[in-house]
Amino acid sequence: MKKKNFAFLALSVLLAGCAAFSAFNAPAVVAEEKKEKISTYQQINTYDTVQDVMECNYAAMFGKADINTDKQYITQGEGSARLEVWGSFFAGTTYPYMEIRLNGNDVLDLSRLKNVQFDMFNAAGEKSYVEVALSIGEKTTNFQKIDLAEGKNEVKIAYNVKGMAGGYDMTQGKKLLLRFPKKTNAEEAKTNVFYLDNVGLGMTLKAPKAYEMTFDEGEFCSFDKNYQEFITNVGGVSTGDSYPILSVNKDKAYSMNCEGKSLKVECQPQITAGGAVYFYLMEDIWHKFDFETLGAEDKYFTFDIYNDTRTDENMNIQIWRKRGDSVVAGNYNRYVYRYTAKAGQWTTVRISIKEWVTPGMPAYNDEYVLMGYDKDLGLYNYGAPMFFVPKSDQLKVFYFDNFRIENKENA
Amino acid sequence: MAKKWLKNIMALSMAAGMVFSAACGGGNSGDSSSSAVEPQPELEASLRIAYAEDKILQSYEGTSSLEAFGERFSGYLMNDFSIAAFRNEHESRHVVITPNIDVAAYDLSVSDFKCGNNVLPASAFDLRHEYYHEVSTIMSSDSTMQPGMYPDAMVPLSAAKEYKLNKIAANENQAVLVTVKVPADQPTGVYTGTITVTLDGKEEKMSATVEVLDYTLPEQVQVKSAVQLTTGNLAALEADVTQERYDKIVSSLNDFRLSVQWLYGMRTDTTRDDVVQATADEQIPYMLKAANDPKVSAYGFSTNGKADPVYGGSLNTDWFMIFLRTYVEASLENQVDLFEKAYTYMGSIIDEPEQSEELMNKVDYVCQQYNDCLEEAATYAAELAALDTYEGTQEFAQSLIASILDVEHVVTTRIDSPGGYDLVDTYCTEPQYYDSSAKVDDYRQHRENGGDYWLYTCCNPKTPYPTIHIDDNGVSARVMYWMMRDYDISGYLIWEVNGTGDGFPDYSNPKTLYGIEQYEDVMRNNTDVGDGYYYYPGKVFGLDNSVPALRLFYLRDGTEDYDAITDLENNLYPALSQKYGATLNASGVLDEMYSYMYNLNQVHCTSADVAKAKTALNTLMVWANNGVAISDYKILSNGNVSTKLYAPQGVEVKANGKVLTGSESGEGVVYTIDEKAATLSVEACGQTLELGCETTNIFTIDATKVSFQNAKQETVENVSVAVNKYEGVDTLKVEATEDVYAMFYELEKDQITTETETLLVYVYLDAPEKVKMSLNVRGKARRIVDAVYVNPGYNVLRFDRLCDLEWNKIKEATQLVFTFDKPETVTTFTLNVEAINVVK
């Protein structure tokens, strides 16, 4: 009996232990199952079908794109995209580019974006390059140039979301843009061939916290703060290679008063009949300031510019009226402020904000641009002011610093 | 009657089913009785034929409206595949397959067709799987079409099979468009062949005939077209923005007898002289080829705009002169007139100017700029031709100069625009603005004064005006060309042939469609279904060429009809006039044929009406080709049909079965017919033309039946109306006083009804100039039929298809109302109304 009881007891203990063991582990297992799987990779397109190739915009006389099944040019799946890049053959025309949709007609949340990845075979018979940008919301990031050796290139481009989140709504990722060099005739274009495969996005596990957009007293943008690197962009009527190249300069020799950082603007050589190009600070930063009140207080918008060339340069800033979400251009709905950047020195440019906000003040072609906010419509009525740079067949460099709001007496 | 399929698959199915169910029953439940398989019904399918112009929907099930719509279209279906076509002509039919059970794979093939020892090879046939697209809304409130699955993309059947599109769901329709292109050297005759339809491996054959008529449609496309193909849009179509791809679409358009506006696709909008010159140089080889290509009716010159301080934007004349000088030099060097087929359409400078005051204000200015450039180019040509280095002939140079000065400037506006332009050369307007016969005559006068006029359609107008929209029946598109021919409209403009998303691919617009999506969403435009795109991506089906829309087939059919009539009137009849020593004209009989299909600018007819007109045209062309011509056809006031028939010696001519006796006329014989005939059947050369009509005179020469109003709708009492004899003919004489604006004629009951087809007014006008007169039918409501010019002298005024009026509003016709729009030089006038006949 004792033996039986012992056996029974042992069995009970064993069973109890198993039960206890199970009970101990069960919550952990449940928690694992309940945990969401967070992927650190988002596949965008592996170009396995013709439809995959077609689901892309090919712009600026791109050339042609086909499905490729030659395995030597495939890194993922059953196919890749064969790109025969033409472009418009005339100098001074926009470079050909393709826009790869990130999520069909929907947007893709890029808050955890770490990098853009793709494999690109350069079969053009020479070294080449591709420029990469992202279309996020209504904005496009600056293009980053990636050199392509002949043969296979595994491309990975890092993005700093902490900085970007200040100027871009990272939940609104739309397209990946790839811009290519172009050729000057059809024969050359037929050999300007690349193969694209395995397009995807590297993601972090968590969305980083964006840099906060803070301002010191009187500061508009000093380029000393880390978020300020990400609030500039370029625009204008241009080919791919004549937009200015922007970067934050750390060489104090080119910062005002040899302090902090500044914005380096490298104006690329372009043929003289090319379009006008500019850089701008994103609307987000302009919207942080109440220009109507600043104008009423008779404040000044001021910045410093260093002209690192040998000749004085006539430049201008333009503010264009906005209607709804669109900037109105054609009917001269714009304000223009002209200034001269003296060669080899810093020039301080001071603009009365009152000119921007007061009806009746002179403006280009008698149209008035009011930098205000329509509360009823919930819209700003101006686009981001555009800092036009000079056109030249030579490289010209300028440094912009210390965008600030000043009292009239300091002006 | 449907053709039934008799199958012996029942036994096979049951055996298979039994095998299948035995295996499954043992494995699953062990209960063999619960796993018994329902026997599949026998495959039965109907094969029916439809005219190409009838769009047969994939299904008519769903709503009672759709079912009623289906019943209407089923009435148009035929059992026999039978086509009559000229040499060098295309004609199509739908073969509609409707199975009772799902079909996993269908196929259709065509044999060689034979007539004695002559063969019309199978390769002359083109077979297309009709792809169905959902049309969820019919965009015109006046349309009688219903939402449903409409055919538009015509996928080559071979590709459809390869990509497994060739399935048919039970009780749904699947049509195959079968098109024959009769070779230019095909002997005349009735060719018989076989169409084989295979459903899941089982074949059914149907006999088919193609009658090759004894007439060859000329190679040269006559009716001009300006089709815009935007290069950038090729990205969305085929992911291919190259000149090669552009050329493929151009070639396809040419096969549909349409001509692209810009021959060289890689146009660039840069801002430099050297680019403009380079572009012009690139264009020359294309232009040299097109100038001699009979498939090309016309092509456009390049123009660019520039900012203008006064007009906002105008023609960049510097750049236009670069283009023109380049064209002049190439013409003289190659002795090829590059200006003869050319036109200019400045779509980006003055397009639809009525949209704004600013646009209207600059039309004449831009026209003057253009004219000045042509003058300068002509002078340049003369200077070059005078040089010692010129190696061509002076005769060519003179001809070239004339061509230069004649290059049409097409402006999308109308003759009665509020802009009141003085300098528009070629008007190009929408069908709703060709809204009266008098207006058409105004355009004809403009041509006599040295101008021209074209037509274009767009997102508007919609049914019942002619359209090339997906949600409209195909009759509309083909009839449009008959209207154009009737009104002597010389060209047709399509503003974009390859656009997506409201006409253009807008990469920020979520409605931009990629690849196969373009097949799946034809409701992509906000305002219409199908305007702006007539091709679908071919690459998704492994095709080298893009897939054309069914609507392009309609346009081709229409242009072929147009060109045949043009050949008849401009070449064959003038030649026969010389031969028979008489002035032959086909206008009377052509008016009869036009009346089968439309009045003015609206299309209410059916495919049967189009077939009737085409059959009549077939006869006219065969006759003319064999020297037989019907001329001076008219319906007299006494209801008699009067016409002449000219024929070579020895050709037998019969009317209503009776052999006619004629008299000598030039090198042949003329036969005169003047008899009352409800049906006049005229036979010659193995072809029969059915004419004639039952006419009733509804006009009583009775002064008490007419009354008058002035422009304020007040009764005018003092108008003299009396029974009269005018040149020996009994008439009612009306002496209209200055204030007469409208004349009312009282109708008897049912004299004009929903069944009235044509109304003919026989009237003499005594006035110093022509007077514009509108005819209205009045009942509960009043509806205008047409406005015509009444010329001094004798007039036979024809008003067709009164049956198409809004009878649901008119209810019962009680009056005819004639309103008068007099020129300033006419204050009073006299009408002697002889008769008013109706045809039912």
Determine which helix (DSSP H) or strand (DSSP E) holds A379, and give its type and residue range: strand A379-380
The H or E element containing residue B132 is strand B125-135
Q: Where in chain A is the domain with CATH 2.60.120.260?
A: 42-203, 219-410
Work out the average pLDDT over B642-659. 92
* B237-275 residue pLDDT tens: 999 999 999 999 999 999 999 999 999 988 766 667 877
Q: Closest partner residue to A93 among B240, B268, B514, by Cβ?
A: B268
* One domain, residues B234 and B154: no
Nearest-Cα distance to chain B for A312, in Å, is 27
Considering only CB atoms, B270 lies closest to which of A51, A53, A93, namely A93
Q: Which of A90, A105, A186 sits opposite B270 (nearest CB)?
A: A90
**Which residues of chain B does A50 touch, with a Cβ-Cβ cutoff of 8 Å?**
515, 539-540, 542
- Which residues, 6 or more positions from A308, have their beta carbon under 8 angstroms from its beta carbon? A254, A344, A396, A397, A398, A399
Distance CA A114, CA A121 (A): 23
Q: Is B539 within 8 Å of A58 when comparing Cβ atoms?
A: no
Interface test with A, best of B242, B246, B264 (most A CBs within 10 A): B242
Nearest to A55 among B268, B272, B514 (CB): B514
Beta carbons of A54 and B537 less than 8 Å apart:
yes
Instruction: Give, for B784, the enclosing helix (H) or strand (E).
Output: strand B782-790
Please confirm whether the linkage preceding B353 is cis (ω < 30° from 0). Answer: no
The separation between CA A245 and the C-alpha centre of its own chain, rounded to angstroms, equals 13
Q: Are residues B341 and B488 in the same domain?
A: yes
B505 and B593 part of one domain: no
Q: Which of A63, A105, A273 sits opposite B242 (nearest CB)?
A: A63
Q: Whole-angstrom distance between the N-terminal and C-terminal Cα of chain A?
A: 106
Q: What angle do CA A408, A291, A400 make, to 5 degrees?
A: 70
d(CA B390, CA B166): 61
The answer to whether the beta carbons of residues B54 and B60 sit under 8 Å apart is no
pLDDT digits (tens, 9 = 90+) for B705-760: 999 999 999 999 989 999 999 989 899 999 999 999 999 999 999 999 999 999 99
pLDDT at B271: 65
Over the stretch A53-66, which tens digit does the pLDDT of each residue have?
Answer: 999 999 888 999 99
Question: Smallest CA–CA separation between A225 and chain B, in Å?
Answer: 33
pLDDT confidence tier of residue B12, bands split at 50, 70 and 90? very low
Return the half-sphere exposure (C-beta side, CA atoms, 13 A cut-off) of residue B668: 22
CA distance A59 to B502: 18
For residue B457, what are its two tokens?
């359609």
Contacts of A51 in chain B (CB under 8 A): 514-516, 540
User: Residue B685 — pLDDT band, cuts 50, 70, 90?
Assistant: confident
Structure tokens at B561: 């009809």
Closest Cβ opposite residue B507 in set A57, A65, A66: A57
Per-residue pLDDT reduced to its tens digit, A257-293: 888 999 999 998 876 555 788 999 988 899 999 998 9
Among A61, A105, A172, the residue to mutate for chain B (most B Cβ within 10 A):
A61
Shortest CB distance from A55 goes to which of B232, B243, B515?
A: B515
What is chain A's alpha carbon radius of gyration, rounded to the nearest angstrom? 28
**Same-domain pairing of B456 and B313:** yes
What pLDDT sits at residue B679? Answer: 81
CB pair distance less than 8 Å for A63 and B241: yes
**CB–CB contacts below 8 A, A to B:** 81
In this complex, do B540 and A59 lie within 8 Å of one another by their Cβ atoms? no
Q: What is the mean pLDDT of residues A373-379?
A: 78
The pLDDT of B652-659, averaged and rounded, is 90
For A159-261, strand residue ranges (E) read 173-179, 193-203, 219-221, 232-236, 245-249
Q: How far is A32 from chain B (nearest CA, A)?
A: 37
Please give the CATH architecture assigned to the domain spanning A219-410: Sandwich (2.60)
Interface test with B, best of A48, A64, A94, A239 (most B CBs within 10 A): A64
Q: Decide if pLDDT at A250 tops 70.
A: yes
Chain A residues within 8 A of B539 when measuring between CB atoms: 50, 53-54, 66
CB atoms within 10 A of CB B737: 15
Neighbours of B141 (CB within 10 A): 7
Furthest C-alpha separation in chain B: 105
Closest-CA distance of chain B to residue A113, Å: 22
Say how many CA atoms lie within 13 Å of B354 toward its Cβ: 14
- Give the residue from A53, A90, A331 with the most B CB atoms within 10 Å of its CB, the best one to mutate: A90
For A165-223, what is each residue's pLDDT tens digit?
A: 878 899 999 999 999 988 888 888 999 999 999 999 999 999 988 888 899 999 999 99
> Which of A88, A82, A275 is CA-nearest to residue A182?
A88
Instruction: Kindly report the number of other CB atoms within 10 A of residue A111's CB atom.
Output: 18
- CB-closest option in B235, B268, B540 to A58: B235
Q: What is the mean pLDDT of residues B624-639?
A: 94
Pick the CATH number of A42-203 from 3.40.50.10110, 3.10.129.10, 2.60.120.260, 2.60.40.2140: 2.60.120.260
Q: What is the predicted pLDDT for the residue at B746?
A: 96
Q: Which residues of B touch A186 (CB under 8 A)?
A: 242-243
* B245/A64 Cβ within 8 A: yes
Chain B closest CA to A138's CA: distance in Å?
9
Q: Which residue stretches of A121-202 are H helix?
A: 161-167, 186-191
Placement of tokens 């974009």 in the chain: B496
Identify whether residues B667 and B792 lie together within a single domain: no
Cα(A25)–Cα(A29) distance, integer angstroms:
6
CA B197 centroid distance within chain? 31
For residues B680-694, average pLDDT: 87
The 10 Å CB-count burial string (b at 16+, else e) for B363-383 is bbbbbebbeebbebbbebbee
- Rounded Cα distance, A128 and A56, in Å: 22
Domain endpoint, select from B216, B237, B256: B216
Nearest CA in chain B to A107: B510
DSSP state of B49: E
Are B242 and A89 inside 8 Å of each other by CB? Answer: no
Cα B85 from Cα B104, distance rounded (Å) = 34
Distance from CA of B243 to the nearest CA of A (A): 9
Sign of CA dihedral A351, A352, A353, A355: negative
User: What's the gap in Å between the CA of B519 and the closest CA on chain A?
Assistant: 12
CA proximity to B139, closest of B434, B470, B430? B470
Which residues in chain B touch residue A66, judged by CB atoms under 8 angstroms apart?
A: 239-240, 539
Quick one: average pLDDT of A20-24?
Answer: 45
CA B433/CA B415 separation, integer angstroms: 9
Q: Please tell me whether residues B94 and B124 are part of one structural domain.
A: yes
Residue written as token pair 């510097």: B318
In this prediction, residues B803-809 reach a mean pLDDT of: 94
Q: What is the reported pLDDT for B255?
A: 97
Contacts B316 to A, Cβ<8 Å: none
Task: Answer whether A105 sits within 8 Å of B516, measured CB to CB.
Answer: no
Mean pLDDT of A358-373: 58
Could you give phi then psi for residue A395, rounded to 5 degrees? -70, 135
Q: Is residue B552 part of a domain?
A: no
- The pLDDT value given to residue A336: 81
Instruction: Examine the fold and report which residue of B162, B193, B216 is the final residue of a domain before the chain moves on.
Output: B216
**3-class DSSP string for B151-170:** EEEEEEHHHHHHCCCCCECC
The pairing of beta strand B491-494 with beta strand B224-227: parallel
Mean pLDDT throughout B588-594? 95
Query: In angstroms, rounded to a whole number, what is the distance separating the alpha carbons of residues B80 and A8?
Result: 92
Per the structure, the count of domains in chain B is 5
Query: Distance, in angstroms, between A55 CA and closest chain B CA?
Result: 5
Kind and range of the H or E run holding A30: helix A2-34
Closest by Cβ to A50, choosing from B266, B268, B515: B515
C-beta atoms surrounding A10 within 10 Å? 10
- Is the distance from CB of B169 to CB of B98 less than 8 angstroms? no
Which residues lie closer than 8 Å to A215 by C-beta, 6 or more apart? A288
Chain A residue nearest residue B544, CA to CA? A66
Query: Does B51 lie in the same domain as B35?
Result: no
Q: Which residue is listed with tokens 């039994």?
A: B18
* Cβ-Cβ contacts under 8 Å, B241 against chain A: 58, 61-64, 86
Q: What is the CATH number of the domain that holds B722?
A: 2.60.120.200
Are B154 and B246 within one domain? Answer: no
d(CA B384, CA B328): 9
HSE at residue A201, side-chain half, CA atoms within 13 A, is: 26
Q: Which of these three, B694, B716, B744, is where a domain ends?
A: B694
Residue A175 token pair:
């397209």
pLDDT of A366 > 60? The answer is: no
Is B535 within the bounds of a domain? no
- Measure the CA angle with vertex B791, ends B785 and B793; round to 5°: 125
Is B198 buried (19+), middle (13-18) or exposed (0-12) by CB count in 10 A?
middle
Co-location of B112 and B79 in the same domain: yes
Cα-Cα-Cα-Cα dihedral sign, residues A31, A34, A38, A42: positive
Q: In terms of residue numbers, what domain contains B177? A: 43-216
pLDDT, chain B, mean = 91
Domain at B89, CATH number = 2.60.40.10
> B551 in a domain, yes or no?
no
Among residues A279, A276, A290, A396, the alpha carbon closest in space to that of A353 is found at A290
CA distance B241 to chain A (A): 5
pLDDT at A364 over 80: no
Cβ contact, residue pair B235, A57, below 8 Å: yes
Q: Is residue B546 part of a domain?
A: no
Query: In which band, very low, low, confident or very high, does the pLDDT at B503 lie, cut at 50, 70 and 90?
Result: very low
Residues of B at the A interface, defined by Cβ within 8 angstroms: 231-232, 235-236, 238-243, 245, 266, 268, 270-272, 275, 278, 505, 507, 510, 512, 514-516, 537, 539-540, 542
Task: Please tell me the predicted confidence (pLDDT) of residue B273.
Answer: 80
Q: Can you say whether residue B92 is alpha, beta or left, with left for phi > 0 and alpha for psi between -120 and 50 degrees?
A: beta
Whole-angstrom Cα distance, residue B499 to residue A61? 16
What CA–CA distance (Å, rounded) separates B709 from B713? 5
Average pLDDT value for residue range B766-791:
96
pLDDT at B25: 35
Looking at the fold, whether B650 and B778 belong to one and the same domain comes out as no
Interface of A with B (CB under 8 A): 50-51, 53-59, 61-66, 84, 86, 88-90, 92-93, 99, 105, 186, 189, 273, 275
Query: pLDDT digit string (tens) for B507-545?
Result: 445 567 889 999 999 988 878 899 999 999 999 999 999
From CA A36, how far away is CA A34, in angstroms rounded?
6
